[in-house]
Structure 1
Amino acid sequence: MGENETLISAAKQARENAHAPFSNFRVGAALRATSGRIFGGCNVENATYG
């Protein structure tokens, strides 16, 4: 698997953890640090009633 495919796969995996009950737009992202370690993240929506 190439470098881009590895990052795409990591982003898709991170997207599985997204929580988007309002927009239904689940987002995952991944980046590779200079050390080679891959970090993934996702969006998490919440509602606050203040």
Structure 2
Amino acid sequence: DEIPKIMRKREQVLEEENKHLMYLVQQSEMAAMGDYQQHEPFSFRVQPM
């Protein structure tokens, strides 16, 4: 009976870690986009991504 509980717990932990990683990736992408806009405002407007 313990095994399924442990497996579920591990799945939850992995899910939380995954959410956290996705959040970090989003943050760094947004920061990179912000930097890019500051350094290259003109080319950013010419070629929207």
Which structure has the highest helix share of the two?
Answer: 2
What is the TM-score of this pair, normalised by structure 1? 0.39
Which structure has the highest strand share of the two?
Answer: 1
What is the TM-score of this pair, normalised by structure 2? 0.40
Which protein shows a greater Rg? 2
